[in-house]
A and B are shown apart, each in its own frame.
Chain A
Amino acid sequence: MTPQAFRLPEGGRVSRDEPVGFVFDGVRYQGYRGDTLASALLANGVHMTGTSIKLGRPRGIFSAGVEEPNAVVQIEAPFPEPMLPATTVELFDGLVASGLPGQGRLSADPDPARYDAVHAHCDVLVVGAGPAGLAAAAAAARSGARVVLADDQPELGGSLLGTREVLDGCPAAEWAAEVGRALEAAPEVRVLRRTTVFGYYDDNHLVAVERRTNHLGPLAPAHLSRERVWRIRARRVVLATGAHERSLAFADNDRPAVMLAGSARAYVNRYGAVPGRRAVVFTTNDSAYAAALDLAAAGVEIAAVADTRPERGEWARRAEQAGIEVLTGHAVVGTEGERRIASVTVAPLDGGSPSGAPREVAADLLLVSGGWNPVVHLFSQAGGRLWYDAELGSFVPDSCRQAVDVAGSARGVFHLSGCLADGAAAGRRATEAEGFAVEEPLALPRAAEEPRSPALPVFVVPGPDGAGSATHFVDLQRDVTVADLARATGAGMSSVEHLKRYTTAGTANDQGKTSGVLTSGAIAHLLGVDVGALGTTTYRAPYAPVSFAALAGRDRGVLHDPVRVTALHDRHVALGALFENVGQWKRPWYYPREGEDMAAAVLRECRAAREGVALMDASTLGKIEVRGPDSGIFLDLLYTNMMSTLKVGMIRYGVMCRADGMVFDDGTVIRLAQDRFLMTTTTGNAAAVLDWMEEWLQTEWPHLRVHCTSVTEQWATVALVGPRSREVLGSLAPELAVDNDAFPFMAWRDTAVAGIGARVCRISFSGELAYEINVLPWDAPALWDALLGAGGRLGITPYGTETMHVLRAEKGYPIIGQDTDGTVTPQDLGMGWAVSKKKPDFIGKRSHSRPDTARPDRKHLVGLLPDDPAVLLPEGAHLIDSEVLPAPPVPMLGHVTSSYRSAALGRTFALALVRGGRDRIGERLYAPVGDHVVPVTVASPVLHDPEGTRRDG
């Protein structure tokens, strides 16, 4: 075929001096910059783009925009992208695409392109840059208001780009360009082209995607984001989203070269491409006549216009003057042709049904117009209600609780002068509502007044015998026919929502833009009810498909979630640490030496802590300073044990419960002064605990004179652990008396360590003699280096969270959130000693005497020793009391919460929550693991140094 044989010699908005080569279904073609893939294919005479998903029927380009149901393509190069409508793909040199029968294919390679997001705020957001949207934006911009105008096309003008309409005697597209230039030059206006607003959420929050570099193909600069998600918060919104033409349901209405009339008009006027040589037009309304006349002017032979309306209107007379045969009161009742239309059969209508002799007309193109659906998707998403305008045969916006206005054809105003006036009024209303003064109103260009005669909405053209509707398609993308709908209504369904789900009509990725109202109309036809009473299905975001890459934006890889690190992170990296995620924190997990696996490294680190000296970065613990004369009273309410009696200079461990009596957090409290405490929280709970404290202080106990301040990152903390830790500390802190009497367990001292101002706390989470040294994080690397230096001759060993866990578990110290799960009381943990009997109240106290909480057979934290000292139980393993797994339901006694290998014990061990566990010590239980059952013995949770002499010495 001649290249671009269907391209007009001139006209259109494509750049004829910029030819573009592309490949479709393996064939090389040429188009022009400014083409879409669809317009370039049509210019090359290609209508059929694939076959349908369910029935495998040939399908072709049906529309010229985002509503396209048929021409869904797979982009192969430059980067694979599935399921894009060919009508929305801007042509570029090097594009390789293929037609898709249904689903597409995601790339197996990571997408190298950049995607990002931006927040925007404005007084007025105008969606759509057709005549109404441009007038609205121009009117709003004059007031000085901040305006965002978003439109999905590369060029402003909307429908004006696809017609030959005239404003003030000039082509309307020129007016659009002029308004666009003025808007772009205005300081408080942002014009977003190639931007689809796809979601309208609460409080005027709208989300859009801007395609920034897709149209550049392989030439797209790598540093610019390919697509950008705009999160727009608008004080007012004007929706000027236009209207989509819809088809009608008649026999074989799905063949390639059946095309919406307005779309064919756009292909001719905007792209200079004719979609056929000889066309039949089938319409229920005036608009298709303009298409017929434009196509005729472009040299397309219009074989006939079949108009469902019995009267001959002004437009029909114009067509006849142009030599076009107009068949009033007629309908298309069938089509023939394989890869595209070859002929169209028309017949007279009588009472909505074909009657009289059908006539076959040879044609390679069938233009259809069943009327226009205002694009109410965003309005509906916003919570707006719709009503059915019987004259238009469409659902149009009614009212909405959000600050939104709809203008132009989006609310059923279908003539140009009306759209301009409607848009300008909406823009002005929006700015006035926001308090912006406007002087004289926007001067609007004059549009020709076109004749108008009412439409005769028809949804279904019944087959000749009134039956047989298996090729009357309503949803082309889902292959849903009137026969399918009839099956559903025959099964008793009458709600449009039920019918949608039963037939899948409207559920494809085109979101039923061309099929939704047609489906409602066809159902109404089948049920013999009013379309307005039947209604439509719910419109939901996204209006058009959005790639996951765009939604993910830059929140990928290291930027996916904050990585929190301590001031010592570089030191850990240098020492070869592997890291563990603890909440958002990266904590050293263990520090393997060459040739060591995790088990070997952890055994070595444990041994160092138990036998020599070791150190750990404990900076991630939450820290809260509590100040005020009522701090003691407050902490007594917050913790289960007594804090007000703590002496200045001393430290106490404490447990916090929720009001339901379950353990929520634990940590230490140190008393800095009579009215000053510093408490620590678990690493993952720091923010939640502070929130919790503020909630009680602000809402329940505002009379307490207490202030809380987070100081988590004000201090870096290094735990110095092991029987030789005192030697190391002593060597670096000459002013500190480190002997047991001067500096006992659970005391703290301010001193200089390695010349650095420090607070040293003698506390232990390992059961060993240990100190926690707190310094400013800026000084933490220097402290760390000094400790490693001073401890070098003693073999000082850095250890990570795994060793910390083993050491604490050997002592039976629980980790909140690992050994507990929100259903565990302090008593269940064997920490009754930390629950005050003296205090009149603390949060959770009343719950501890609830019958369920006071039950003796609750699950208790106990130790488990597998019979085989080499067997490591998996954490989460269930426990039962029989050697043979009984038939389900298996009575569960509890589960393993922590499980490790112990260097000190020379064996494996575990902690577990076991029903009535403390009364089972010494009993044999069984843990089903995979295909076998592991026998274990219940033990005290404190397996190492139960007397605590190592810690206290």
Chain B
Amino acid sequence: MLLIPCPWCGPRDEAEFHYGGQAHVPYPEDPAALTDEEWARYLFFRDNPKGPHPERWSHADGCRRWFNAVRDTSSNEILAVYRAGEPRPVIA
């Protein structure tokens, strides 16, 4: 059971959270202007790194805030959390 530090509520059990996939995949400004391929890229293509990965999480059973977390996919370590809209922190 991971302990995920909600940027609002502090550390809580993983079971209180919902996973929201890769972060920083913004909804396109004007979807109609995209080619089919560009739109498909937005819909279906995501990174799959071994190592730090920025992700969206929602503290679903708590404050219901969506936030971002950088998780090391090889160790499950949460390297940083930051609120929605904030830039991805630089991780040494």
Contact = CB atoms under 8 A, between A and B. Distances in A.
**Do A and B touch (CB < 8 Å)?**
yes
Interface of A: 201-205, 231, 233, 383, 401, 659-660, 687, 690-691, 694-695, 698-700, 702, 840-841, 845-847, 850-851
A203 B3 contact: yes
Nearest to B32: A846
28 contacts: A202-B3, A202-B76, A204-B3, A205-B3, A401-B75, A659-B27, A659-B42, A659-B43, A687-B60, A690-B64, A691-B58, A691-B60, A691-B64, A694-B66, A695-B56, A695-B58, A695-B66, A698-B65, A699-B56, A699-B85, A841-B30, A845-B31, A845-B32, A846-B31, A846-B32, A847-B39, A850-B36, A851-B36
Nearest to B61: A687
Contacts of A698: 65-66, 84
Contacts of A203: 1-3, 11
Contacts of B77: 401
Interface in B8-43: 11, 18, 20, 26-27, 30-32, 34, 36, 39-40, 42-43
A841 B31 contact: yes
Contacts of B36: 850-851
A700 B27 contact: yes
Contacts of A841: 30-32
A850 B66 contact: no
Nearest to A119: B13
The 9 closest A-B pairs by CB, nearest first: A846-B31, A203-B3, A698-B66, A205-B1, A699-B84, A700-B27, A202-B2, A698-B84, A699-B66
A840 B31 CA distance: 10
B31 A231 contact: no
A279 B49 CA distance: 60
Contacts of A850: 36, 39-40
A134 to B, nearest CB: 28
B34 A846 contact: yes
Report which residue of A659, A660, A840, A846 has the largest number of chain B beta carbons within 10 angstroms of its beta carbon. A846
Contacts of A847: 39, 43
A206 to B, nearest CB: 10
Contacts of B60: 687, 691
A201 B66 contact: no
B1 A691 contact: no
A205 B2 CA distance: 8
A554 B15 CA distance: 18
B84 A840 contact: no
B20 to A, nearest CB: 7
B60 to A, nearest CB: 6
Contacts of A699: 56, 66, 84-85
A631 to B, nearest CB: 18
A846 B65 contact: no
Nearest to A233: B3
Contacts of B2: 202-203
B54 to A, nearest CB: 12
A695 B21 CA distance: 12
A383 B11 CA distance: 21
A804 to B, nearest CB: 29
Contacts of A202: 1-3, 76
B39 A846 contact: yes
A715 to B, nearest CB: 20
Contact of B75 (A205, A383, A694): A383
A846 B36 CA distance: 9
A694 B34 contact: no
Given A695-B56, A698-B66, 5 more contacts: A202-B1, A383-B75, A694-B58, A841-B32, A847-B43
Nearest to B28: A846
Contacts of B27: 659, 700
Contacts of A204: 3
Contacts of A840: 32
A383 B77 CA distance: 12
B43 A702 contact: no
B58 A702 contact: no
A700 B26 contact: yes
Nearest to B76: A202
Contacts of B39: 846-847, 850
A231 B13 CA distance: 11
Contacts of A694: 58, 64, 66
B1 to A, nearest CB: 5
Contacts of B56: 695, 699
Report which residue of A659, A698, A700, A851 has the largest number of chain B beta carbons within 10 angstroms of its beta carbon. A698
B84 A231 contact: no
Contacts of B58: 691, 694-695
A199 B6 CA distance: 25
Contacts of A845: 31-32
A699 B83 CA distance: 9
Interface string B65-85: 110000000011100000011
Nearest to A851: B36
A381 to B, nearest CB: 13
Contacts of A205: 1, 3
Nearest to A659: B43
Nearest to B2: A202
Contacts of B1: 201-203, 205, 231
A636 B12 CA distance: 35
A699 B57 CA distance: 11
A851 B40 CA distance: 11
Nearest to B66: A698
Contacts of A691: 18, 58, 60, 64
A204 B1 CA distance: 9
A637 to B, nearest CB: 10
B58 to A, nearest CB: 6
A404 to B, nearest CB: 15
A233 B15 CA distance: 14
B33 to A, nearest CB: 9
B72 to A, nearest CB: 10
Contacts of B26: 700
A687 B31 CA distance: 27
Nearest to B77: A401
Nearest to B24: A699
A694 B43 CA distance: 19
A205 B18 CA distance: 20
Contacts of A846: 31-32, 34, 39
Contacts of A695: 20, 56, 58, 66
B28 to A, nearest CB: 8
Contacts of A687: 60
Contacts of B3: 202-205, 233
Nearest to B30: A841
A660 B28 CA distance: 13
A851 B42 CA distance: 16
Contacts of B42: 659
A204 B2 CA distance: 9
B39 to A, nearest CB: 5
Given A698-B66, A699-B56, A840-B32, A660 B84 contact: no
A698 B60 CA distance: 13
B55 to A, nearest CB: 12
A479 B76 CA distance: 38
Nearest to A660: B43
A706 to B, nearest CB: 14
A201 B14 CA distance: 12
A847 B31 CA distance: 9
Contacts of B65: 698
A660 B27 CA distance: 12
A383 B74 CA distance: 11
B37 to A, nearest CB: 10
Given A205-B1, A846-B32, A851-B36, A702 B85 contact: yes
A383 B2 CA distance: 14
A851 B32 CA distance: 14
Nearest to A846: B31
B77 to A, nearest CB: 7
Contacts of B75: 383, 401
Interface in B40-55: 40, 42-43
